[in-house]
Amino acid sequence: MNTEKIEWHDVQGLLLSGYPQLPYSAYVAWHFLPGQRDAAKRWLRDLAERLMRADRIEGEDDGATDLQLPPTNIRALKAMRVGDRTAINLAITASGLQELDLDEHRLSDFSVEFLEGMAPKPTSGRRMPRRSGLLGDAGESSPCRWEWGGWGPSAEVHGMLLLYASEEHVLQALVQAELHAMNGVADVVVTGDQGNGRPVIVHGRLYDDAKEHFGFVDGISQPIIEGSPLAIRSEENAKNEKKAKSGHTPAGSGEGDKVLSAKDRRISLVKPGEFLLGYRNERRERISSQSVKPGSNLRDLLRNGTYLVFRQLEQDVDAFEKFVASLATRMHGKADVEATEEVAARLIGRYRNGAPLVRAGADSPSAPERNDFLYAYEDESGMACPIGAHIRRANPRDAIGSDPDVALKLSKMHRIIRRGRPYGARRGEQDETTGKGSRRGTAFIALNADIAGQFEMIQHSWLNNPQFGGLPVGTDPISHVAHDGDELVIQQRPFNLHIEKPRPFVTVRGGAYFFLPGINAIRTLAD
């Protein structure tokens, strides 16, 4: 594999891992205090040394099993089997960079979408900014109703701490320690509720069954970065297996290593520049700083960084289950477990256990998770997985356009890495931290090098598009968007089933565009 060597030691760990061994998380939105620029830079300088890296620094001791010192690279984190394990990552908004005295010349290196923000405020004479219209942030999901990051009176967001821990009490201690470290430098953003604001600390949780609140296994279809440890190990293991079959050497796939099939690689392997700035993307181009000239002593702040999209998406699980039950009665004449599971799968494109509808067969509910499937070759008509189903929209693979091979190549230019987690108690349960029932949803996190060409394109052209796939199939079944006369379309014989789409099951409660800098870039910002 002829790939670029990636400086993983300078990349924040979240790009490479969702930290499955750290199921408890807290996302802390903060803003700098005025007049504390020097103190803020000292805080960032200290924080840079505690951040989780994607890999160790060359020559660094890899035996990080000292229970007194939290690991600061993913390799050490995986090696640490016991003790209080934690991870910290840092993301900064465009206004946060301005607070650090980054001039307009250096700011111009960053993308327009990042600089404008997720929810730019309306200008005079315009009711809805272009970006809000593009994302479908209207009605109940309008930024004027957001609890943070929108148009309300809440303080401006300058950054976010992404904190992860192995146990709930470990997370609580980590949150308190980091709040103490930022004391006098930054404050936690407070929601815009008049006189009754709450700190914006969104608590995420990975459950053992890996399911989100609608009950589906999440995070199955993720791109694999070319040049990542997984891609390299898989390539080596595939070669070893090939040699073993020929009798030249015994097979040797390392413990837990995944061997990607040729089909897996064709579908999921993506150039690093789609996610990491400074490397070649699928167009064979690099997104790099234009203000740093050869021979300059300035550091490229973009290199080894990526853009982080954060959306707090509240889910109405009761309404979703009620709709699924009514649709099951309409389609199957009953709303038992088997009928409702079948209907729910047709909306999403997978069964709740993660098994895809494409080529799943009669025993699909018990089939193992699979991701090595294509639509144009295996389900062009949408009879297995409806053309408007959620996973088919979010990642169309080879299904957009007349040439499947070209479509698959183009789709790789629009992939995102998802690192989100459910927040709030599960349906019928109480919140572990408050002991009460609570609102629930998804702390959606997407990592991409091109917000417009990746996250926004997926949201606008695929999820919110009522004409997706060349057919009038309505908007995404679980999107926060619903147009007048919107409907869901399920392909079946002899006639397609058209269902009036109910009010959205998802509401946007807050969000922002962030930059996830490389470690050296954070140090530069702190200088």
Q: Which are the contacts of 364, defined by CB distance < 8 A and separation ≥ 6?
A: 345, 351, 355, 357
Same domain, 350 and 252: no
Percent of the chain with pLDDT over 70: 89
Please state which of the ranges 104-118, 122-136, 227-241, 334-348 shows the lowest mean pLDDT. Answer: 227-241
Domain boundary among 254, 270, 286: 270
Q: State how many domains the chain has.
A: 3
The whole-number pLDDT of residue 484 equals 87
3-state helix, strand, coil in the chain (%, to 5): 30, 15, 50
pLDDT at residue 66 in the model: 55
Q: Which of 124-133, 155-164, 200-209, 249-258 has the lowest mean pLDDT?
A: 249-258
pLDDT of residue 236: 74
- 212 and 67 fall within a common domain: yes
- Using a 10 angstrom Cβ sphere, with 0-12 exposed, 13-18 middle and 19 or more buried, the burial of residue 157 is buried
With a cut of 60, say whether residue 194 has pLDDT above it: no
Instruction: Please check whether residues 238 and 262 belong to one and the same domain.
Output: yes
Residue 503: inside a domain, yes or no? yes
Count of CB atoms within 10 A of residue 296's CB?
A: 10
pLDDT tier for residue 235 given thresholds of 50, 70 and 90: confident
End-to-end CA distance of the chain: 38
51 located within any domain = yes
Find the domain containing 354 and state its range.
310-511
- The per-residue pLDDT for 251 is 40
pLDDT of residue 70: 82
Over residues 206-219, mean pLDDT: 95
pLDDT > 70? residue 365:
no
Provide the pLDDT for residue 250: 44
Tell me, yes or no, whether 141 lies in a domain. Answer: no
Q: What is the mean pLDDT of residues 180-186?
A: 97
Strand 487-490 versus strand 497-500 pairing type: antiparallel
Q: Which of 200-214, 292-306, 314-328, 393-407 has the lowest mean pLDDT?
A: 292-306
The answer on 249 and 337 residing in a single domain is no
- At 362 the pLDDT is 45
pLDDT in tens, 253-263: 333 445 677 78
The token pair at 389 is: 């189903």
Q: By mean pLDDT, which of 79-93, 184-198, 266-280, 473-487 is the weakest?
A: 184-198
Please state, in angstroms and rounded to a whole number, the distance separating the CA atoms of residues 192 and 469: 40
Q: pLDDT value at position 123?
A: 82
Across 18-43, average pLDDT: 97
Do 315 and 448 fall into the same domain? yes
**Predicted local confidence at residue 24, as pLDDT:** 98
* 325/384 same-domain check: yes
Q: What pLDDT does 196 receive? A: 75
Asked if residue 55 lies in contact with residue 8, where contact means CB atoms within 8 angstroms, the answer is yes
* Domain assignment of residue 459, yes or no: yes
214 and 241 in a single domain? The answer is: no
For residue 98, pLDDT beyond 60: yes
Evaluate whether residue 170 is within a structural domain: yes
Of 70-84, 215-229, 366-380, 418-432, where does mean pLDDT reach its minimum? Answer: 366-380
- Asked whether residue 357 falls in the same domain as residue 481, the answer is yes
Determine whether 246 is exposed, middle or buried from the number of CB atoms within 10 Å of its CB (0-12, 13-18, 19+).
exposed
Question: What whole-number distance in Å separates Cα of residue 358 and Cα of residue 378?
Answer: 7
Domain identity same for 187 and 255: no
pLDDT over threshold 70, residue 249? no
Please provide the DSSP assignment of 422-448 as one string.
EESPPTT---TTTSS----EEEEEEEE
Lowest-pLDDT choice from 159-173, 205-219, 305-319, 355-369: 355-369
Pairwise CA distance, residues 311 & 159, whole Å: 14
The answer to whether residue 138 is domain-embedded is no
Using CA atoms, how far residue 267 sits from 407, 408, 515, 522, in Å, is: 11, 7, 27, 34
Q: Which residue has the higher pLDDT, 450 or 469?
A: 450
Report how far residue 91's alpha carbon sits from residue 112's, in angstroms, rounded to the nearest whole number.
Answer: 17
Is residue 108 included in any domain, yes or no? yes
CA dihedral 274, 279, 285, 291 (to 10 degrees): 110
Residue 286 domain flag: no
DSSP state of 280: B
Q: What is the token pair recorded at 122?
A: 């309306």
0.75 surpassed by pTM: yes
Q: Are 174 and 22 in contact (CB under 8 A)?
A: no
Gap between the Cα atoms of 293 and 166, Å rounded: 44
Average pLDDT over residues 390-394: 97
Assess whether pLDDT exceeds 80 at residue 62. no
In this structure, the answer to whether residues 235 and 364 fall within a common structural domain is no
| Residues 402 and 520 placed together within one structural domain of the fold | no
**pLDDT computed for residue 336 by the predictor:** 96
Indicate if 48 and 83 belong to the same structural domain: yes
